[in-house]
Amino acid sequence: MQRKSAGKGKTMPAQSPGTFFATHPSRADTFSESVIREMTRLALKHDAINLAQGFPDFPCPPELKTAACEAVKDDINQYAITWGAKDLREALAKRVKTFNGMDFNPEEEITVTCGSTEAMMASMLAIIQPGDEVVVPEPFYENYGPDAQISGATPRFVPLADNFSIDEEKWKAAFSKKTRAIILNTPNNPTGKVFTKKELSFIADLCIEHNVVAITDEIYEHIVYDGHKHISIGSLPGMEDRTITIGSFSKTYSVTGWRVGYALADASLTDRIRKIHDFLTVGAPAPLQRACVAALELPESYYKELAVEYDRKRQILYKGLKKAGFACELPEGAYYIFTDIGSFGMSDTELACHLVETAGVAAVPGSSFYHTGGETKLRFTFSKKDETLIEACKRLETVDGSHT
Ligand code: GLN
């Protein structure tokens, strides 16, 4: 496994002088490949249970499968409108109004993208000029590091407090004249933190005061526990025209491979996002966009059931990890448990390698979520069948660590 994680800078491979690579550095040299996806490759290699990459090993709702097959049979096989099929944007506008309390005009303010990954990249490219600063709470989802590098942004990492809440003084200090955007992720990957209205209002006030855009990744919005409530910062007063809200079908409907996500923003921000999106990808898969309309027609009970299912999975993994010697708390949302591995006497990478090779369980080294540090952490996902989690927990109990 590569030691350096994404966004931390990568050592160039040795090249003989005179080769193109030796004389022409690239922005691709400034970050590493995704450690999360590398762990998936290692899991496959060692035939391990993949609790590294956050994707379900259970099927998506049958309504989505039927709708996708019908779309292909109905010849929905050519490009959709570049910013998204009209019926999907209209269905999204309705859903976002009722669930998130935000109004978006589907004609001018909604862009369907290739997953939330593209939505984030297109948003950053749309608003960042090289040298602009972007405030990123740390730990952060691995992709945001390379996203900053690719867009030319200078990330200003703000550590979250020990309980993952907002440290107001640190946030105030992170804003400067160069700050153009903040990247939020709630419910949060990897910590499971669900930011409260008070915390989001504090961040919103800073954005308004400093004329900054909030780019908010809300892909886990339906996966919250213990009465925690998901709040979109874009729904707070004064944030309507300075927020890009990113969502996706991947996690809510268990279709991570479909690559259908979206960016919601006022018309002037959307105009820029759409231009970048158009030349990056032209558009998201047309038949799957049709099937995503069917997803948005699922009854309200679907979302309740999803949270109940994930709550049960959360408890299974939490108990198993505790038993195996990992220090952890139950997450408030999303589908990861971010553990402390201090008692194992190994670094995050050493323990991740040890687990995948000897116990047959893959997890993500904590340092992937920090620009520096994180070596005392490992992230496990519970987006798996109960039996997968039970088997993984059994295997983890066999791990030889220095814990007693
Ligand atoms: N968001 C998921 C995770 O954090 C999947 C990442 C990916 O590979 N796109 O594991």
The CATH number of the domain holding residue 38 is 3.90.1150.10
309 plus 350 within the same structural domain: yes
Domain assignment of residue 9, yes or no: no
162 plus 178 within the same structural domain: yes
283 plus 368 within the same structural domain: no
pLDDT at position 30 is 87
55 plus 67 within the same structural domain: no
Domain final residue pick, 296, 314, 332: 296
Please work out whether the CB of residue 210 comes within 6 Å of at least one atom of ligand 1.
no
pLDDT at position 14 is 57
Q: Which domain holds residue 357?
A: 31-60+301-396
Nearest-angstrom CA–CA distance, 336 and 370: 16
Residue 215 alpha carbon to ligand 1 centre in Å = 18
Rg for the chain (alpha carbons), in Å? Answer: 21
Residue 32 alpha carbon to ligand 1 centre in Å = 15
pLDDT per residue, tens digit, the chain (404 aa), is 554 444 454 445 555 667 888 888 888 888 888 999 999 999 999 999 999 999 999 999 999 999 999 999 999 999 999 999 999 999 999 999 999 999 999 999 999 999 999 999 999 999 999 999 999 999 999 999 999 999 999 999 999 998 999 999 999 999 999 999 999 999 999 999 999 999 999 999 999 999 999 999 999 999 999 999 999 999 999 999 999 999 999 999 999 999 999 999 999 999 999 999 999 999 999 999 999 999 999 999 999 999 999 999 999 999 999 999 999 999 999 999 999 999 999 999 999 999 999 999 999 999 999 999 999 999 999 999 999 999 999 999 988 765 44
Start-to-end CA distance of the chain, whole Å, equals: 28
Domain final residue pick, 257, 274, 296: 296
Domain assignment of residue 13, yes or no: no
Domain assignment of residue 175, yes or no: yes
Residue 259 alpha carbon to ligand 1 centre in Å = 12
**Residue 392 DSSP symbol:** H
Please work out whether the CB of residue 53 comes within 6 Å of at least one atom of ligand 1.
yes
291 plus 315 within the same structural domain: no
Residue 127 alpha carbon to ligand 1 centre in Å = 24
143 plus 99 within the same structural domain: yes
Residue 322 alpha carbon to ligand 1 centre in Å = 24
Residue 164 alpha carbon to ligand 1 centre in Å = 20
Domain assignment of residue 103, yes or no: yes
pLDDT at position 20 is 85
User: What is the tally of structural domains in the chain?
Assistant: 2
Residue 104 sits in a domain of what CATH number?
3.40.640.10
Residue 142 alpha carbon to ligand 1 centre in Å = 8
317 plus 331 within the same structural domain: yes
173 plus 267 within the same structural domain: yes
Nearest-angstrom CA–CA distance, 217 and 189: 10
Rounded to 5 degrees, what are φ and ψ at 328? Answer: -160, 165
Domain assignment of residue 198, yes or no: yes
264 plus 132 within the same structural domain: yes
Please work out whether the CB of residue 120 comes within 6 Å of at least one atom of ligand 1.
no
Query: 379, 364 in Cβ contact below 8 A?
Result: yes
Domain assignment of residue 382, yes or no: yes
Domain assignment of residue 23, yes or no: no
pLDDT at position 7 is 46
Q: Which residues pair with 49 in a beta bridge?
A: 361
> Quick check: bond before 139 cis, omega within 30?
yes
Q: Which residues pair with 186 in a beta bridge?
A: none
Residue 54 Cα: closest atom of ligand 1: 10
Residue 404 alpha carbon to ligand 1 centre in Å = 32
Nearest-angstrom CA–CA distance, 191 and 137: 11
Pocket residue to mutate for ligand 1, from 55, 248, 252, 378, most atoms within 8 A of Cβ: 55
- For atom 2 of ligand 1, the residue with the nearest CA is 54
Pocket residue to mutate for ligand 1, from 34, 41, 254, 256, most atoms within 8 A of Cβ: 256
Q: At what angle do helices 115-127 and 144-151 cross, to 10 degrees?
A: 40
Q: What is the pTM of this model?
A: 0.94
Domain assignment of residue 113, yes or no: yes
Residue 189 alpha carbon to ligand 1 centre in Å = 9
Please work out whether the CB of residue 35 comes within 6 Å of at least one atom of ligand 1.
no
122 plus 173 within the same structural domain: yes
- For atom 5 of ligand 1, the residue with the nearest CA is 54
Domain final residue pick, 235, 265, 296: 296
202 plus 222 within the same structural domain: yes
pLDDT at position 3 is 44
233 plus 377 within the same structural domain: no
Pocket residue to mutate for ligand 1, from 34, 35, 36, 377, most atoms within 8 A of Cβ: 36
Q: How many CB atoms lie within 10 A of CB 94?
A: 12
Query: 227, 196 in Cβ contact below 8 A?
Result: no
Residue 40 Cα: closest atom of ligand 1: 8
- Alpha helix stretches (DSSP H) within 165-295: 168-174, 197-209, 267-281, 286-295
pLDDT at position 1 is 59
DSSP code string of 228-265? -----GGGSTT-TTSEEEEEESTTTTT-TTT--EEEE-
